[in-house]
Amino acid sequence: MSRVSPGFGNLIRAFLASKKLTFRAASLESGVSAAYWTDMASGRIPSEDVIEKIAAAFGEINENELRSAAGYSLKPGTTDPVEAVDFVLRGQDKLPEKAKREILDFVRETAEKYSGGKSST
Amino acid sequence: MTSGRFEEEAAYFAHRAWESLKLSLPVELARVADKLGIVVSERDFDESIDGLYLRLPGAPPVIAVNTSYVKPPARRRFTLAHEIGHHLLSHDLNTESRLFFFDTFSTRRTFIERACDRFAVLLLMPEDLVRAHYAELEHNPGKRVAVMAERFGVSTWALRRRLRELGLQTRPARKR
């Protein structure tokens, strides 16, 4: 039985609405069936492979945002420290958005300051 | 790693810092951080944030302490000591790995967070010195906590807690 998350469903619906995509159109674009898109819009958590497919098909959608909403860990190989910290902060519901932005700004500034260094996970 | 091991390591690192750096009161946290190669940054963050520890590959470890006016100096010192604890307690991780801890009023009190608090307590208020100053101020019990907090560079709240933990009275005995 698939896991269900209303938050994930909201994210999918908001994405489709912003792109004015029907389930069928999303299916044609991504190679994920329309029925599967319908289920995801209702909150069904897809496999990590499906998330990767969707992110690959739509450049505007952030794979780690989908992974976070689906309860998966940070995508292996993510090298951008800001993205990695952003992933950690997504789950912090009690932390004000202002605080999250400030932390991300600090991480970004630090990463830029030492940009001669290589990033890894 | 078990919570017990973290706590033991916290005690070991605090003891070692005092021995190797020949520290005195109040502990010069900037010197401790500097010795460890940590860059300490002060920042006016949202009041929900106390501080953070960040380690990026190719960069020195960085601690940011919130200097917002709602964070008194003693609180900032405790935060800095706590973040130094994060650095030391993650010493066995690959130095090229990315590491990020942040501390807020709502940070979950995991065993690593508790161990970092423990490190801060032991670094800022070593038992032998707490006992020695407590005894020295024996004849001034009314101001003892305030004077000791000043000497150790901690809040009176943190000091009272430490005194209680060591079985020392925090209030003058009632006159008969």
Neighbour tally for B24: CB within 10 Å: 9
pLDDT at B173: 46
- For residues B44-67, average pLDDT: 93
Given a cut of 90, whether residue B17 has pLDDT beyond it is yes
B100 near A CB under 8 A: yes
Instruction: Say which of A98, A106, A114 has its CB closest to residue B64.
Output: A106
Preceding amide of B57 cis, omega within 30: no
**A9 Cβ neighbours under 8 A, 6+ residues apart:** A40, A41, A42, A43, A44
Element (H or E) spanning B55, and its range? strand B49-55
Q: Do A114 and B58 touch (CB under 8 A)?
A: yes
Q: How many CA atoms lie within 13 A of B156 on its CB side?
A: 8
- Residues B99-116 have a mean pLDDT of 79
Each residue's pLDDT tens digit, A30-54: 999 999 999 999 999 999 899 989 9
Would you list the domain boundaries of chain B? Answer: 3-124, 126-176
| Residue A117 confidence (pLDDT) | 43
- CB spacing of B96 vs A84 below 8 angstroms: no
Give the per-residue pLDDT at B106: 65
Element (H, E) at A88: helix A81-90
B58 and chain A: CB distance < 8 Å anywhere?
A: yes
Instruction: Tell me: pLDDT of A82 over 70.
Output: yes
The answer to whether B49 contacts A88, with C-beta atoms less than 8 Å apart, is no
Contact at CB, A118 and B58, closer than 8 angstroms: yes
pTM of the model as a whole: 0.79
Chain B partners of A81 at a C-beta cutoff of 8 Å?
Answer: 56, 98, 100
List phi, psi (to 5°) of B51.
-175, 175
Mean pLDDT of A12-28: 92
Residues in chain B: 176
Greater model confidence, B32 or B3: B32
Q: Where are the beta strands (DSSP E) in B56-115?
A: 62-66, 99-104
- Judged on CB neighbours under 10 Å (0-12, 13-18, 19+), B106 is exposed
Say yes or no to pLDDT of A68 above 90.
no
Decide if B93 touches A, using CB distance below 8 A.
no
- Tell me: pLDDT of B95 over 80: no
Please, is B77 exposed, middle or buried when counting C-beta atoms within 10 Å of its C-beta (0-12, 13-18, 19+)?
buried
Q: What is the pLDDT of residues B116-157, one digit of tens each?
A: 999 999 999 999 999 999 999 999 888 999 999 999 999 999
Task: State yes or no: ipTM above 0.95.
Answer: no
In angstroms, the CA A104 to CA A97 distance is 11
Identify the pLDDT of residue B157.
Answer: 94
Q: Is A101 helix (H, G, I), strand (E, B) or coil?
A: helix
- CA–CA separation, B128 and B122 (whole Å): 10
Contact B103, A103 (CB under 8 A): no
More confident of the two residues A114 and B3: A114
Nearest CA in chain A to B50: A99
| Average pLDDT score over residue span B40-49 | 95
* Residue A110 pLDDT class (50, 70, 90 cuts): very high
CATH class of B3-124: mainly alpha
Say how far apart CA B158 and CA B81 lie, in whole Å. Answer: 13
Could you give the CA distance from residue B31 to residue B77 in angstroms, rounded to a whole number?
Answer: 13
Handedness of CA A53, A55, A59, A60 (dihedral sign): positive
Report angle CA A84, A90, A92 to the nearest 5 degrees: 120
Instruction: Please name the residue of chain B whose CA is at the shortest distance from the CA of residue A111.
Output: B56
Q: Which of A7-16, A31-40, B8-17, B142-151 has the lowest mean pLDDT?
A: A7-16
| A106/B98 Cβ within 8 A | no
Identify from A92, A93, A101, A104 which residue to disrupt to test chain B contact, counting B C-beta atoms within 10 A and taking the largest count. Answer: A92
The answer to whether A29 and A55 are in contact (CB under 8 A) is no
Residue found by looking up tokens 């990767």 in the block = A52
